[in-house]
Amino acid sequence: MENSKLEIKIRRYKRGEEKAIWQVYFRSTREVVSKEYTLDQVKRWAPDSNDLTEWIDRISQRNPFVAVVDNIIVGFAELETDGHIDMFYCLPEWIAKGVGTQLFECLEQEAIRTKMKRIFAESSTLAIRFFKSKGFQVIEERVNIVCNAPAKQYIIEKKLS
Ligand SMILES: CC(C)(COP(=O)(O)OP(=O)(O)OC[C@H]1O[C@@H](n2cnc3c(N)ncnc32)[C@H](O)[C@@H]1OP(=O)(O)O)[C@@H](O)C(=O)NCCC(=O)NCCS
């Protein structure tokens, strides 16, 4: 495959890239996350709205890492100062091609560099294999009710010291 020859670069996002990051989030939620949840749930998390004002604010505050291939943002991940990994998404056509692994390595290095004691996240059932392969352990399983339907979530963590 040609894709395997393309270099994946990881860096902090730049102003003006918020819309491209929304596209990654929107498509990943609608096309990948949707395999595990109801349509109403997925639309709640990734609505059709064109108003990206709140999203742009969020991204500028979270300052995510982005994965870039051939000048296209194909994935992004957020690391908060307490070690919480909130959003972590790849474009559907880039799933299982190593983008998530490279983003994760960068997040983990940043967490170690800034002396975080642990990193943690809420994972779906689909993503749990990915996180377990990175050394995370499940500390709690939750079932939230979202749009009148259950939404399973695993609380996972990786200790760093
Ligand atoms: C979870 C995610 C970020 C991982 O990134 P990735 O680039 O696909 O991961 P990599 O290619 O580096 O690693 C592949 C591993 O991820 C696992 N994986 C997780 N979700 C997957 C999915 N939906 N489809 C295929 N593989 C998936 C595979 O099991 C694979 O493990 P293997 O090599 O042992 O088979 C990405 O799959 C994604 O965006 N998923 C949808 C959004 C999501 O669930 N985000 C996490 C919670 S916020």
- Whether the Cβ atoms of residue 107 and residue 17 lie closer than 8 Å to each other: no
**Is it the case that residue 4 has pLDDT exceeding 90?**
no
- Whether the Cβ atoms of residue 115 and residue 81 lie closer than 8 Å to each other: no
Q: What is the pTM of this model?
A: 0.93
Closest CA to 156 of 133, 139, 135, 132: 139
> How many angstroms separate the alpha carbon of residue 130 from the centre of ligand 1?
5
Average pLDDT over residues 35-48: 95
Instruction: Give the rounded percent of residues in the chain with a pLDDT score beyond 90.
Output: 94
pLDDT tens for each residue of 138-155:
999 999 999 999 999 999
Delineate the domains of the chain, giving CATH numbers in brackets.
Answer: 2-117 (3.40.630.30)
Shortest-distance Cα residue to atom 16 of ligand 1: 130
6, 32, 62, 95: which to mutate for ligand 1, most atoms within 8 A of CB? 95
Q: What is the mean pLDDT of the chain?
A: 95
pLDDT at residue 72, as a whole number? 97
